[in-house]
Amino acid sequence: MSTLQNVVLLVGGVGGAKLALGLADILPAGTLTVIVNTADDFEHLGLHVSPDLDTVMYTLGGRANPQRGWGVEGDTFKAMEMVTTYGGASWFNLGDYDLGTNIYRTALLREGKTLSQITRQFCEALGIHQYILPMTDDTVHTRLDTVEFGMMDFQPYFVRERWQPTVTSIHFEGAEAARPASGIVEAIKAADALIIGPSNPFLSIDPILAIPGIRTALLDAAAPVVAVSPIVNSKALKGPAAKLMRELELDVSPVSVARHYMFLLNGFILDNADSHHVGDIQSLDIAATHLDTIMTTKSDKVRLAEQTINWIEEKIV
Amino acid sequence: MSTLQNVVLLVGGVGGAKLALGLADILPAGTLTVIVNTADDFEHLGLHVSPDLDTVMYTLGGRANPQRGWGVEGDTFKAMEMVTTYGGASWFNLGDYDLGTNIYRTALLREGKTLSQITRQFCEALGIHQYILPMTDDTVHTRLDTVEFGMMDFQPYFVRERWQPTVTSIHFEGAEAARPASGIVEAIKAADALIIGPSNPFLSIDPILAIPGIRTALLDAAAPVVAVSPIVNSKALKGPAAKLMRELELDVSPVSVARHYMFLLNGFILDNADSHHVGDIQSLDIAATHLDTIMTTKSDKVRLAEQTINWIEEKIV
């Protein structure tokens, strides 16, 4: 059993949610706080869609679709099929269960509830014993400047164009004015360990770090900050992280990720495939180790969570 | 083949939709206009729900659930199950296909399209060759004064309380200021026959007649106005019509229905079970006949439509 009383995890969607599930399995109820990117949130057909928040919520609530990585297990797509029949946009698909989440969240937002209040209500209803906090209740939008389409909103870039446009710069509109959601600064202050999940550094973690109150709280935190690499053997496990690194003229290597977070990091976990980079990380004055970071099965997730926590306890704290 | 070139049918939901389906089957494409009550429309979970309009649209589009009488055949209820899991209101159920209709309609209304434009788009997508027109693009709300709950909105009365409250009066808020939807006055002027469907006179037809432009157009129409009785053998075939008649201190009889529409009617069709009332109707200076008005199967609907059209052609026009 871990001696850590409070762990904070920063994540985007699928990759981060896997580590969140592993940590939720080994840490006592109420001791894990997951801070989730909401800069991918957008309005679709009048509904407030929070893709990363829902991926983490469905994962910890045992409702996630394990194959697809997003949405709810056993979901169907009848409502969107009907929308498409009528000539509506078909590029962003939402399952029927998933629409229930989005419809009710949107209704509660219109009633004046905040995204974090709604998320707490939903998590309680799903029997989730960890704290899932949207990074902010304010509006932050990721926008990407691209060669092919000029400035794009996140979802058209990511889903409609399947992240194929060439990105020249990334912007988090509203981040500088955004306040951390209630509970985030307190959780970071009270944490024994702060973990940056194996999420896309540029699209999932940077928007969280772009909120001044969160950045400052992390810099001021007494607890160590440790990141798990989303880059394994010069590839992203999922999504555009490696492609973005090339476009931003970075080496596609976990060392680039560690350097990207350098201002924050005390420790960095690489994949075994990148063990030859341990020295490169240590030369940045960051503790480093290598583990099997590929999380396919539930036991992979639990094992990586355990090894991560053990390493932080033994080598970093 | 009928010699009538243009038929206009006024309806509410299920009962009227059955006659609409029969008429659609026997009349050439493009010659039937169905004017639908929208005073039951309401906002639920932020969505604009049009129950009667959708019942007629799904029925003519071959998508209706034949058992339930509302909603789409083969529908599931995953989205609303999720809403209920989170603690949302469960008293008004909407299937997943049906939610697609409501989500996309709401999105298009927010873009500034009118309900009649949206209805036309949806009907074309569903391959419907008749004109389905909402009675108005303005907002009209049925409200009921009740002994038990005071003033109630329609859906809480009808669905949540299963029309059990005792009604003392019925109001159509906004009707006096509402304009007929585009095409309605023209269709009534051009009609060879105007039929009031076997819908609830007080809840489904009265809101349509409460719109001054429609009432005037019907009174000025050259074509005969014929109603099909929703009351058979002192009972309503479905819903609260008979109960409302008792509460409004009317005899539960087709004669009360004919008297209710007296200012408009040229003809009235009773059920065979009420053939002894033919003379009562005729004494109101309204032509009357009796038919088998119970529409269970598709062929019942087609037969009643045929007999209605034949009677209008032979005895009324």
So what's the ipTM on this one? 0.92
d(CA A242, CA A251): 9
Query: What's residue A261's pLDDT?
Result: 96
Are the beta carbons of A88 and B107 separated by less than 8 Å?
Answer: yes
Chain A partners within 8 Å of B121 (Cβ):
86-87
Comparing alpha-carbon positions, the chain A residue that sits nearest to B80 is A100
To the nearest whole Å, the CA of B93 is away from the closest chain A CA by: 12
Are the beta carbons of B104 and A45 separated by less than 8 Å?
Answer: yes
d(CA A1, CA A244): 39
pLDDT tens track for A44-64: 999 999 999 999 999 999 999
Chain B partners within 8 Å of A81 (Cβ):
97, 100
Are the beta carbons of A100 and B87 separated by less than 8 Å?
Answer: no
Query: What's residue A2's pLDDT?
Result: 65
Most confident of A100-104, B231-235, B245-249: A100-104
Are the beta carbons of B100 and A79 separated by less than 8 Å?
Answer: yes
Q: Are A195 and A4 in contact (CB under 8 A)?
A: no
Residues of B with CB under 8 A from a CB of A: 45-47, 72, 75-76, 78-83, 85-88, 95-101, 103-104, 106-107, 110, 121-122, 125-126
Query: What's residue A1's pLDDT?
Result: 54
Comparing alpha-carbon positions, the chain B residue that sits nearest to A75 is B78
d(CA B45, CA B244): 29
Phi, psi of A43 (to 5 degrees): -100, 125
- Residues contacting residue A86 through CB under 8 Å, at least 6 positions apart: B100, B101, B104, B121, B122, B125
d(CA A75, CA A98): 8
The letter for the amino acid at A294 is I
Query: What's residue A248's pLDDT?
Result: 93
Comparing alpha-carbon positions, the chain B residue that sits nearest to A106 is B46
Are the beta carbons of A83 and B103 separated by less than 8 Å?
Answer: yes
- Mean pLDDT, residues B179-191 taken together: 97
Are the beta carbons of A86 and B122 separated by less than 8 Å?
Answer: yes
Query: Could you say which of B78, B121, B125 has the minimum Cβ distance to residue A97?
Result: B78
Query: Could you say which of A81, A87, A96 has the minimum Cβ distance to residue B79?
Result: A96
Query: What's residue A316's pLDDT?
Result: 78
Query: Could you say which of B46, B82, B104 has the minimum Cβ distance to residue A100?
Result: B82
pLDDT tens track for B120-148: 999 999 999 999 999 999 999 999 999 99
- What pTM value is reported for the model? 0.93
Q: What is the crossing angle of helices B51-60 and B115-125, to 10°?
A: 20
Are the beta carbons of B45 and A125 separated by less than 8 Å?
Answer: no
Chain A partners within 8 Å of B45 (Cβ):
103-104, 106-107
pLDDT tens track for A62-99: 999 878 878 999 999 999 999 999 999 889 999 999 99
pLDDT tens track for B259-314: 999 999 999 999 999 999 999 999 999 999 999 999 999 999 999 999 999 999 99
- Residues contacting residue B304 through CB under 8 Å, at least 6 positions apart: B19, B22, B228, B291, B292, B293, B295
The letter for the amino acid at B9 is L
- Mean pLDDT, residues B8-14 taken together: 95
Asked if residue B238 has pLDDT above 90, the reply is no
